Copies of this chain bind each other. A is one copy, B any other.
Amino acid sequence: MNEDDDLGALCAGAGRALAEAERPVLERHGLTMWQYVALSALAPGAAPSQLVLAQQIRYDKTRLIALLDTLEAAGLVIREPDPADRRARVVRLTPEGIRRHAVVRAEIREVENRKLAGLPAEVQRTLRSALAHLANAD
């Protein structure tokens, strides 16, 4: 992974390396990457509808259904009919879901910090904000 690689290749390489390092954590907790992504999206607050959640995490809306079925069966999320629009279902973490997500997230963070070890704190902050800049459309 050289410094004169394309930025895209660098991001892909870094993302792949992180995903590989984090996979054992997710497996240990019986979660797939997408399940974790969904839980993370719900952590800050309930999603107003499944469609919105799908768009938020960029996951196919028809496949999100099965994903939520699994998470609901595991007691990590609940789907409640939206009182304002009874077609929609509000998706929310259960107390158990909140706890489990916090535990997994802490372990993921630990893995990431291990990968970041050696980079000064200032560089880490710069990295985060530069990636956020790239991710948000210009």
Contacts and interface: CB of A to CB of B under 8 A. Distances in A.
> Interface residue tally of chain A, by bracket?
35 or more
A102 interface: no
A135 B17 contact: yes
A109 interface: yes
A3 B138 contact: no
Which applies to chain A's interface (DSSP): helix, strand, loop or mixed?
helix
B138 A1 contact: no
Given A134-B115, A137-B17, A129 B3 contact: yes
A125 to B, nearest CB: 9
Given A8-B112, A13-B131, A15-B15, 4 more contacts: A6-B108, A11-B15, A11-B131, A115-B134
Interface of A: 1-3, 5-19, 22, 37, 40, 58, 105, 108-109, 112, 114-119, 123-124, 126-138
